[in-house]
Amino acid sequence: MTPAPDNPPAPAPLKLLSVVIPARDEEGCIASTVEHLHVELTLRGIAHEIVVVDDGSSDRTWEILDSLRSRIAELQPVKNERLHGFGRAVICGLDHAKGDAIVIMMADESDDCRDVVRYWEKLNEGHDCVFGSRFMKGGGVIDYPRFKLFVNRLANFFLRVLFRHGLNDTTNAFKAYRRTVIEGCRPLIAPHFNLTVELPLKAIVRGFSWTVIPITWRNRRHGEAKLKIREMGSRYLFICLYVWLEKYFSRGDYKKRP
């Protein structure tokens, strides 16, 4: 494992946090997700924008977002008018985000808004990336489906062996990055949930500094889960091997430059 040094050199202070939230058919929870996040960040005095990407919803998700932005100026709803998919929606949000720090967050309130604040604080210590782990001391999960939990732990063990990075929750989408990391990891090619491993693995392989903090997760209370494990196996494997080939065969062509 080669994490960030304990005292990385201090880059320029961060000014604006962009929270990117992909959403598809989330009418039951998107309003509370945005409202709770906005209140938490406002109370902490964090300048922010909330970029919610409607990824082809067939319910009232866009109508609710349109209504919310009349009273939450920080909300920036965007429609993904191109091909749909979780990864494509996130990339669309990244393309529209204006912040120098970016957190990717789920729309279903499974991620804790207070952890977004902790991500911001850690980024401001000088780290390029902050990864959350639900499976380290201080972290936790609530109502995690047993089969998905088994697959999750198996997949993350595979990634730890393959990349030898020591991170035990690579597959979790809820992570924070400086904008320089996002730009340094382009082009992003994963169109679906496999983007959740493409971004952190590329960041690690390309030499960006990172640290890990414990986070909490709870299962969604509204709507249906969008991740279909049976459909994603080969896609995850493709992205993992793609980044693994870069790690061992690219001769550092894409590494972060001082």
Of the candidates 14, 31, 10, 30, the one whose C-alpha atom is nearest the C-alpha of residue 22 is 30
SS (H, E, C) 209-254: CEEEEECEEECCCCCCCCCCHHHHHHHHHHHHHHHHHHHHHCCCCC
List the end-to-end C-alpha distance of the chain, in Å, as a whole number. 21
CA atoms within 13 A on the CB side of 82: 10
pLDDT of residue 174: 98
pTM: 0.91
Measured in whole angstroms, the distance separating CA 97 from the mean position of its chain's CA atoms is: 13
Q: Are residues 48 and 17 in contact, defined by beta-carbon separation less than 8 angstroms?
A: yes
pLDDT of residue 1: 46
Domains recognised in the chain with CATH numbers: 17-249 (3.90.550.10)
The pLDDT profile of the chain, 258 residues, written as one tens digit per residue, is: 445 545 555 677 899 999 999 999 999 999 999 999 999 999 999 999 999 999 999 999 999 999 999 999 999 999 999 999 999 999 999 999 999 999 999 999 999 999 999 999 999 999 999 999 999 999 999 998 898 899 999 999 999 999 999 999 999 999 999 999 999 999 999 999 999 999 999 999 999 999 999 999 998 776 565 555 555 678 999 999 999 999 999 988 999 887
Rounding to the nearest 10 degrees, give the CA dihedral for residues 154, 156, 158, 159. Answer: 170
Of the candidates 66, 85, 30, the one whose C-alpha atom is nearest the C-alpha of residue 231 is 85
Considering all CA atoms of the chain, what is the largest pairwise distance in Å, rounded to the nearest integer?
A: 51
